[in-house]
Amino acid sequence: MDGFVHISVMPDEVLHYLAPRPGGIYVDGTLGGAGHARQILEASSPDGILVGFDRDPAALKVAAERLAEFGGRVRLVSRNFAELASSLEEMGITGIDGLLLDLGVSSHQLDTAERGFSFQQDAPLDMRMDTTAVETAADLVNGLPERELERIIREYGEERWAKRIAAFIVKRRGEKPIETTLQLVDVIKGAVPRGAWDERLHPATRTFQGLRIAVNEELSSLEKGLADAVGLLKKGGRAVVISFHSLEDRIVKTSFRAFAHGCTCPKSIPRCVCGKIPQLKVITGKPVMAGDAEVTLNPRSRSARLRAAEKI
């Protein structure tokens, strides 16, 4: 597992906004290569607790090795962070001092061809973050109705050529199942007119993004995980989320704003009857971006957006 490489995005900014301290309980909902987790444990020394979630067995194995020196201060959970509330309840944890979500696909997942996340290398069309899950990207590509494929590619991939790509997929799979990443890339390249290719973006980028989000139910997991975390945050506790595309960022922004607002009763009602009170204070008016130096060293950080909020 020494080859498991993942460069943590915006490490200084994460520590600044999460503000870990000794004795605190912190949740890293997307453990990955444990880079952020190590920083949190060091900053919360000598007795801070880190609960790390990840669906990827390979990531958890590496994290266990890399964080072994922190002993009982580390608790690893092989689950989706959407199961955060029930998992912490099982541990007897009733409140947390901070949550970190780094929503990017890890460099290791992208660079490991057989995981099927990359359109640059030929591999089985998989894309599962949890390799024990049943449904793969190939299952979706070869089994979904054309209109559902179009919806996934358009909504989750934000691909303007979704209708045409879905039609080409259905035509090709009628001849032979689409089983590998490069077979799908070939279909996409045939569907998107050459003149419409973005020189800065591979023509398969958005379709692969859409399928990955669908396979891993990423957006619904984000909404539930955030809601559960806000309920568990102690007063003064912070939630820090790094997203990598507009759909995720929109969910984070909308969720933080919703929890920051109080009464939702119509203005025509003279007295509040909903009883809703603000739970968060948003502490990043605009998303925080990686600096030029970091982007130069880690080009994948270019699309990262960090938002943070504090429990009140």
Going along the chain from its start, the domains and CATH numbers come out as 11-108+218-311 (3.40.50.150), 132-216 (1.10.150.170)
Which residue from 225, 236, 233 is spatially nearest to 86, judged by alpha carbons? 225
In three-state secondary structure terms, 12 is helix
pLDDT tens sequence across 167-201: 999 999 999 999 999 999 999 999 999 999 988 88
Give residue 109's pLDDT: 55
DSSP characters for 13-25? Answer: HHHHHH---TT-E
Give the mean pLDDT of 58-85.
94
Band (300; pLDDT cuts 50, 70, 90): confident
- Quote the pTM value: 0.86
Residue 224 backbone phi and psi in degrees, to 5: -70, -45
In three-state secondary structure terms, 240 is strand
Band (131; pLDDT cuts 50, 70, 90): confident
pLDDT tens sequence across 209-240: 999 999 999 999 999 999 999 999 999 999 99
DSSP 190: H
DSSP characters for 51-113? Answer: EEE-S-HHHHHHHHHHTGGGGGGEEEE-S-GGGHHHHHHHHT---EEEEEEE-SPPHHHHH-G
Q: Are 58 and 108 in contact (CB under 8 A)?
A: yes
Among 268-277, 281-290, 298-307, the minimum mean pLDDT is found in 268-277
